Structure 1
Amino acid sequence: MTFSYLLLLAITPVLPAVSSEHRIEIPIKISSLPEDAWGKSRIFSNLEGQTFVLRDLGYGPFNDASMWKISINQALPFGRKILSFDLIVGEKHKPLWGDQLFQPIINGVEAEPALDENGAVSFNKIVSDGRGFIPARSQKIALSMSESELSLSSFALMTAGAENYEIKLSNMKVVVWPQSHVQRPHVSTLGYREGSSKTAYIEWYDRERRALKTKTKIYLNNKASGRIKEIDISLPKRRTAISGSHVNAIDLSDLTAGEYDLIVPSFGEYTQETKASFEVNTGNSHIKKLRDQAWGAFYWITSGPNGPYPKAHQQDLGAIDFDVPTETKDVSGGWFDAGDYGKYSVNGAYSVSLMLITGLIASDVLSHDINKVGNTSANVADWLRVADTELSWLYKMQRADGAVYHKATTRKWPSATTAPEDDRATKWLMPVTTTATANFAAAMSLAAKLYLTQEDEIYQKRGMDFKISAEKALNWLDENRELKMIDQSYEGDEYGGAYDDDDDSDERFFAHAAYAALTENNTAFATAYADLKNLKPKMEAREYDVNWRTVDLLGVWALATSNKLDSRTKKSVMKILRSASNNWRNLQAQSSWGVPVSDDGDLYWGSNGVFATIGWHWALWSHLSGEKAFIDSAEMQLHYFFGLNPLNKTYVTGQLPNSVKAAYFGPSTSGRIELPAGFISGGPNSSGLDGNAPPMRSYIDDNMNFTTNEVAINWQSAWALYASLLAAKTH
C-alpha cells in the first residue's frame, strides 16, 4: 500500500438516489398457521387464502396482550428493504389501550416504520412502556428492514388489549432495492488498542470490482485533525466462499489513539459512498469492560435461591429418577445450560472445567471483581464463587454408586417465552452415562486440586468432598468399560437436548488426566499417559475441533496444570498444545476474515463459541509458554465478534453498534428481565437457516431462533476466560 495526504475538500462523494426501476417485489407466502407464542387462548388465528386473520372469539374485553408469530424463512438479497402488507381492522374492534393495535416484530426485533419517497414515515407509532404500536386503523403498513438482513425468518406481533379484536393482514411482500455491488467497510465496534495489530476489511462485489480492474483508492479521516489519508489498494482476485464476497484487509496498525472514519467512495452506477467509524484507545479499558460484562452474565443464568429467580424451579428440589420413578433427588441450583432451563452434566462439567484449568494455570488473570455473583460470599476470588455455583449442582448429580445422571430436564421443551417462574413442569433425572460420569470426574478432580489450596476452610472441606466424588466416579468407570449413552428420545419426547456421543475414550482420558494432576502419583500418571498415547494419532490426524463433545485437548490441559510431569509426558503435553495453537494460527493467517477457519470451509453450530474457545486456547498457551505471537492472534481475532465480519454484527449483547438485541434466552424473551449485557450469541453456522446464504451470513438476530442466536454456558465460559486473559496480557 502507498499513502498520501489530502485536504478534506479533496473528497466529494456523491450518493446516488435509489431509482424505483431497480426495485423488486418478493411476495411472502404464509405456509403454516401462526404460532400462539404465549398460549393465552383467547385470540385465535386462521388463514383465509394468504390473508392472516386474528379474531377474538370470546365475550367482553380482552384487556391483555398476546404474541403471534408467523414463521417464514424467506431468503432475501442484500439492499434496502421494506416489508409491507394491507391491514384491515374490524368494524367492531374497540382498542382499550389508547389507539394501540399491535407491536410489529421482524426477525425478533421491533420494526420501525419505513420512509416514503419524501423521507416521511408511513405511519406514526404509538409508544407505550418502551414498545411501539401500530395505530388501530385500516391502512397500508410499510416497515423498514436492515439492508444486511438476508432472510425474513419471522414476522410477529404483540396484540394490545381490545374488545371484539379482529384484524386482517394480506398482500404481504418485501420490496427490495438490490445493492449487490455496494462496497462495505468493516471496522471494530469495540475499538482497537494503540500499539496492537489493527485490521479493517472491505468487501467488493463482482460488477464494480471488475470495472475498477486492479487498483483503487479508499480514504481514512482523522476526526480530530481533519486530515485525510489516501490509501491505494489492490483489489482482491479471489472470491471468499465463506462470505460470498471479495475481501480486502486494510492494515491500520500504525494508527495512534483517536477517532477515525474509513471511507469507501462511490463507484459506478449502483454504488454509494460508505463510511465506517472507529476508535483507537490508549489502553485496554474497552477489553476490561467486555470481560466484566461477560462474567456478570453468569448471574442471569443462575438457578436457585442465590440467583435472580429465587422462587423459580421449586420442582428441582424433588426431581424424579427416570429409571426409578419412586426416587427423587434435590438437583436445585447451578446454571441454566442455554436459552431454556435444562441442566446438563456433560456441558456443565465441560464449561466449569475451562474455568478451573485457567485458574490452576493462570490464577492471576482471574483476580478481578465480578458483579453480580450468584453465590454466597466467601474468602475466595469472585470467579471461583461463579464456578462453585455449577460445581455445587454437579455434586448433586452423582448417584450413590458413583455414576452421574446425564441431565436434569423437563419432558417437553418449554416455550421460548416461558419465564423462569412459569416453568413448573416436572423435572426428570435422565439415565447415567459414561460421558457424564467421566466429565464429572474430571471437573471434580480439577476443583479438588484448586479448592485444597484455598485459605477458606469451607472450600478446603469441599475440596476433599470433590476428591472423594471424583474417585467414586472413576471407580464406576473402571467397572463399566463400555459406552453407556442417553437415548435420543423416550416415548416420542426428547427430554431436552441429548448431548449424546458415540465415543467416550476422550472423556475417560480427561478424567484420568485430571485425577493424575490432582494426586500426582505415578500410577495415575501412567494411566493418563497410556490414554494419551492411544489418542495422539487421532488428535494429530484431524483439524482439531473444540466443543463439549471432544475433550481430549482438555485432558492435555489438565496434565499441564501439574508441576510433576516426567520429561516425556511434559514434552508430549507441550508439543500437543503448541501444535493445536499453531494449526489454528495458520488457519487464521490464511483467512480473509482473521478467524481460524478455511475461506471455503463451513461454520459449526455455535461458531462464535468455537472461535472464543480457540481464543482462550491461544491466550492460555501464550501465558504458559511465553510466546507472545499467540496472544496477538487472540487479540486480532477479538474484533471479529465486534463488527469485523460480513454482517457488521456485534455478536455480544449490550449497547455497542449493531449488538445482539434479541438473543434466544428465556428470562429475557419472556419479558421477565431485560436482556443483560455481556452474553455472546451462538453465531452463524452452515446449517442454521433455510436458504443458500454463505455460512458467515447465515445468522438472524431473532429471539426465537435458537440455531444462531442462543446463549449457552460452554461458549459463555470460553468467552469470559478469553476476555480475562486478554485483559491481563494487554495494556
Structure 2
Amino acid sequence: MKPLRIKAALALCSAFVLASCGSSGGGSSNSNPSSSASSQSSSEASSESSSSVESAGRILLNQIGFAPQAAKVAVVPEVSATAFSVINTDTEVAVLEGELSAFSEWTPANQVVAQADFSDLQDPGTYVIRVAGAEDSDPFVIASQPYKALNIGALKAFYFNRASSALAAEHAGDWARAAGHPDTDVLVHASAASAERPEGTSISAPKGWYDAGDFGKYIVNSGISTYTLLAALEHHGAFYAATDAGIPESGNDTPDILEEAMWNLEWMLDMQDPNDGGVYHKLTTKNFAGAVMPAEGTEPRYVVQKGTSATLNFAAVMAVASRVVAEHEAVYSGLSDDMLAAAQSAWQWAQANPNVAYQQPEDIQTGGYGDSRFEDEFAWAAVELYITTGDDDYLQAANLESISNGVPGWANTDGLAWVSLAKHRANLTAAADQALIESRIVELADSIVADMNSSAYGVPLVAGNFYWGSNGGALNKAMMVLQAYDYSADMKYVNAAQALLDYTLGRNPTEYSYVTGFGARPPMHIHHRQSEADNVVDPVPGFLAGGPNTNAQNDCGADNYPYGDEAVARAYLDHWCSYSTNEVTINWNAPLVYVTGALESIYGGE
C-alpha cells in the first residue's frame, strides 16, 4: 500500500450517507424515482472518463460505505492490471494506491476476480476505486456511523409491515396507507378447535407484523424475528437508546426497537390459548391475497392449529421479552411477570405435547412453516427460561451437550440458545458449562472466518448457501460470528461480519445492493404486496430482498435468471413475480438490524 496524504478533511456527502432517514418521515435514498438511475449514470460516466477501452466489468463493493477503522475490500473483475487506486470524487486525486491480490475463481459466481484491500484509508470522504480496464466502483463514503441510517431503515421496515394500523404520512411519508386487518374478529379454524374454543369461535388477536410480502402472521417466523430484535437491544443497548426510528412511539424514554417489538409481542400473547397454554401456529386468510393494499384484504381470518414448534418459539421469545421488559417496569407495569407466566405455561403444554408437527389443512393455502424436528426449539426455550429464572431444571432440560451450534433460521434455532448463553455467561449458575458455551461459539465463528479467507470474493459464502432467503442467511452468519468477538476482541470476527454486510450491499455478482432504498442499485420490484399495489414508484424502503436461490420455483425467476452449479450466486431476479428470490420477510430484516447496530456499536467504541 502507498497512502497519499490528504491535506484537509473532505466534506461528506450527507445525502449519500443518510440514505434513509426514518426520523424525518420514512424517506429513502430513492424518494426521487430517478435517483437509482442517476447514481448508476454518474458511476458509469466516471468509469468511461477513466478508460477509453471496453470495460471488463464493474468493480464491486459496499455501495454505502465504511467506518474509518473497518476492513474495506472491493472485488475487481479479471483484467491485466495489477494495481488499484482510490480516487477522491471531489478532486479526482488518488489518495491511496495498492496492489491487487492474485486473480482466482469464485465458483458460486463462475467468475475470476481479485480483491482490492484499501483498509488503510481512514480519512472521511467520498471515493471510487479505479483499476485500468475495469469500470469504476460506485461512489462510497468513509464516515462515522455509516450504517446508522440503514439500521433505522431496516428497523422501520417492521413498522411499514404492521397489521391493524394505519400508517400516517407523518411517519410513513410516501408509503402512508390505511389500516389493514384489524384482527379483532378472528375465527378458530377446525384444526385449532377445542372444547373451550370450538370451530368458528371468534377471538381477538390484533397487531403483529405481516410476515413477508403476504398478509399472514406466523408464530415461528415472527418468533425468531422478535428474538433477534430483542437480542440486538440486550447486546447493544446504548446504541438503541440513542436511536430515533421515526415511528409513532418515538420520543419517549423507551428504546424504539423495544416499542416496535412490542407491536408483535402483544399479538403473540393473544395467540396463546389461555385454557391450556398451547399456541396457534398462524393467523391468516385461507388463501394468499392478490397484489392489493392491506385495507383491501377483507377475507375472513383464522387461527390455525396449535403445535409444538409454535408453542416452544413462543415460550423462548416470551422468556427473553420478560427479562428485557423488566428493565422498563415503570412503562410496562406487571408485563414482565405476565410474559414469564405465559412462557412457562407454553413450556408445560409442549412438555405434554412434545411432537405435534404442523400439518397444513386442505383448505389453507398460505405459508406452512412446517417443522418436524423439535430438539432445537426445546433447547432454545429451556435456555431462555433458565437465563430468565435461574432455575437449573431448565438448563438440564436443554441437554446442551447434544445440541450443536449453527447459523439460525426459523426451522433451526439451536444457535439462538448459544447466543443467549454466551451473552449472559457472567450471570449463569454454576451448573452451566462455560467451556462448552465458548467452544460452540468460537468453533462456528472460526469456520465462517475460514470460508472468508478461502473465498475469491472475500465473503464467507459457499455454493450450498444460496437457498430461499440466502441474504438473510448471510446476515445470520454475520450475527453468529460477532458473538465470538465478545470473547476475544479479535477483529477477524468483525471483519467477517463486515464482509457479509458488504456482500448484501453490493459486493456480490448481481451488482445489487439488496436493501430497498439503499445503495446505487437497490431492488425496485420486491415481492411485497404494498410495494406492488401502492402506485408509488419506489418500493417500501428498508427491506432486504431474499437473494439468490438455486431451488427453482414455479415463478418467473426459474426461467429468467442463471441458476444451478455454474452461477448459483447470480440466481436472482428483481421482479415482483420472482417470489423465490425477491420476496421480503421480517426474519431476513431482523439480522440486518442486528448486524448494522452491532457494527455501529463496535466501531463507535461501545
TM-score scaled by length of structure 2:
0.81
Counterpart pick for 1:717 among 583, 587, 590:
590
Comparing 305-314 with 406-415, greater Cα deviation is found at 305-314
Match of residue 501 from structure 1: 371
* Alignment check: 8 A CA contact 2:98 2:118 kept: no
The 3 A distance-change label for structure 1 pair 222 and 668 is closer
Q: CA deviation at 1:630?
A: 1.9
Taking the aligned partners of 1:369 and 1:184, their CA distance within structure 2 comes to 35
Match of residue 144 from structure 2: 283
Q: For 2:276, give the aligned amino acid.
A: D
* Alignment check: 8 A CA contact 2:326 2:336 kept: yes
Match of residue 440 from structure 2: 576
Aligned pairs for 1:368-447 within 5 A: 368-373=242-247, 379-399=253-273, 400-415=275-290, 417-447=291-321
Structure 2: gaps of 5 or more residues: 6-31, 35-39, 42-52, 169-176, 194-198
* Alignment check: 8 A CA contact 1:581 1:630 kept: yes
Taking the aligned partners of 1:396 and 1:726, their CA distance within structure 2 comes to 35
Please state whether the residue corresponding to 2:580 is helix, strand or coil: helix
* Alignment check: 8 A CA contact 1:344 1:407 kept: yes
Taking the aligned partners of 1:672 and 1:462, their CA distance within structure 2 comes to 40
Aligned pairs for 1:100-499 within 5 A: 182-204=56-78, 216-228=82-94, 233=100, 235-236=102-103, 238-255=104-121, 256-266=123-133, 274-284=135-145, 286-305=146-165, 307=167, 311-323=179-191, 324=193, 325-373=199-247, 379-399=253-273, 400-415=275-290, 417-457=291-331, 459-481=332-354, 483-488=355-360, 490-491=361-362, 493-499=363-369
Does residue 683 in structure 1 map to residue 547 in structure 2?
Answer: yes
The 3 A distance-change label for structure 1 pair 625 and 435 is farther
Q: CA deviation at 1:341?
A: 0.3
Taking the aligned partners of 2:155 and 2:211, their CA distance within structure 1 comes to 15
Please state whether the residue corresponding to 1:668 is helix, strand or coil: helix
Aligned pairs for 1:579-618 within 5 A: 579-598=443-462, 600-618=463-481
Taking the aligned partners of 1:184 and 1:561, their CA distance within structure 2 comes to 41
Match of residue 392 from structure 2: 522
Taking the aligned partners of 1:294 and 1:526, their CA distance within structure 2 comes to 37
* Alignment check: 8 A CA contact 2:376 2:403 kept: yes
Q: For 1:565, give the aligned amino acid.
A: T
Q: Which of the pair is proportionally richer in helix?
A: 2
The 3 A distance-change label for structure 1 pair 291 and 3 is closer
Q: CA deviation at 1:375?
A: 5.5
* Alignment check: 8 A CA contact 1:605 1:685 kept: yes
Taking the aligned partners of 2:87 and 2:302, their CA distance within structure 1 comes to 60
Match of residue 383 from structure 2: 513
Taking the aligned partners of 2:401 and 2:54, their CA distance within structure 1 comes to 52
The 3 A distance-change label for structure 1 pair 277 and 414 is closer
Please state whether the residue corresponding to 1:431 is helix, strand or coil: strand
Taking the aligned partners of 1:377 and 1:191, their CA distance within structure 2 comes to 29
Q: CA deviation at 1:393?
A: 0.5
Q: CA deviation at 1:463?
A: 1.0
TM-score scaled by length of structure 1:
0.68
Comparing 573-582 with 368-377, greater Cα deviation is found at 368-377
Aligned pairs for 1:624-663 within 5 A: 626-654=489-517, 656-663=519-526
Q: For 1:582, give the aligned amino acid.
A: D
Q: For 2:56, give the aligned amino acid.
A: V
Q: Deviations over 1:484-523 (max 9, x none)?
A: 12224x33x4431111112011101111111111110222
Q: Deviations over 1:415-434 (max 9, x none)?
A: 1x111011111111111110
Match of residue 27 from structure 2: none
The 3 A distance-change label for structure 1 pair 681 and 180 is farther
The 3 A distance-change label for structure 1 pair 375 and 499 is farther
* Alignment check: 8 A CA contact 2:407 2:477 kept: no
The 3 A distance-change label for structure 1 pair 438 and 180 is farther
The 3 A distance-change label for structure 1 pair 258 and 698 is same
Q: For 2:499, give the aligned amino acid.
A: M
Taking the aligned partners of 2:55 and 2:520, their CA distance within structure 1 comes to 24
Please state whether the residue corresponding to 1:453 is helix, strand or coil: helix
The 3 A distance-change label for structure 1 pair 326 and 242 is same
Aligned pairs for 1:35-74 within 5 A: none
Taking the aligned partners of 1:377 and 1:430, their CA distance within structure 2 comes to 37
Taking the aligned partners of 1:289 and 1:222, their CA distance within structure 2 comes to 23
Q: For 2:319, give the aligned amino acid.
A: S
Taking the aligned partners of 1:672 and 1:222, their CA distance within structure 2 comes to 38
Match of residue 97 from structure 1: none
Q: For 1:293, give the aligned amino acid.
A: G
The 3 A distance-change label for structure 1 pair 180 and 316 is farther
Please state whether the residue corresponding to 1:249 is helix, strand or coil: strand
Taking the aligned partners of 1:234 and 1:3, their CA distance within structure 2 comes to 17
Q: Deviations over 1:163-200 (max 9, x none)?
A: xxxxxxxxxxxxxxxx9993431132102232322111
Please state whether the residue corresponding to 1:450 is helix, strand or coil: helix
* Alignment check: 8 A CA contact 2:220 2:310 kept: yes
The 3 A distance-change label for structure 1 pair 568 and 345 is closer
Q: Which of the pair is proportionally richer in strand?
A: 1
* Alignment check: 8 A CA contact 1:223 1:261 kept: yes
Taking the aligned partners of 1:314 and 1:223, their CA distance within structure 2 comes to 50
Match of residue 700 from structure 1: 573
Taking the aligned partners of 2:244 and 2:365, their CA distance within structure 1 comes to 34
Comparing 181-190 with 292-301, greater Cα deviation is found at 181-190
The 3 A distance-change label for structure 1 pair 234 and 359 is closer
* Paired-residue identity, %: 24
* Alignment check: 8 A CA contact 2:72 2:119 kept: yes
The 3 A distance-change label for structure 1 pair 352 and 650 is same
Taking the aligned partners of 2:217 and 2:266, their CA distance within structure 1 comes to 13
Taking the aligned partners of 1:703 and 1:342, their CA distance within structure 2 comes to 18
Taking the aligned partners of 2:384 and 2:33, their CA distance within structure 1 comes to 50
Q: For 1:485, give the aligned amino acid.
A: A
Match of residue 63 from structure 1: none
Q: CA deviation at 1:603?
A: 0.8
Taking the aligned partners of 1:232 and 1:634, their CA distance within structure 2 comes to 24
The number of aligned residues is: 533
Bigger radius of gyration among the two = 1
The 3 A distance-change label for structure 1 pair 526 and 292 is same
* Alignment check: 8 A CA contact 1:302 1:374 kept: no
Q: For 2:185, give the aligned amino acid.
A: L
RMSD: 2.9
Structure 1: gaps of 5 or more residues: 6-128, 132-145, 148-178, 267-272
Q: CA deviation at 1:612?
A: 1.3
Please state whether the residue corresponding to 1:704 is helix, strand or coil: coil
The 3 A distance-change label for structure 1 pair 194 and 304 is same
The 3 A distance-change label for structure 1 pair 391 and 649 is same
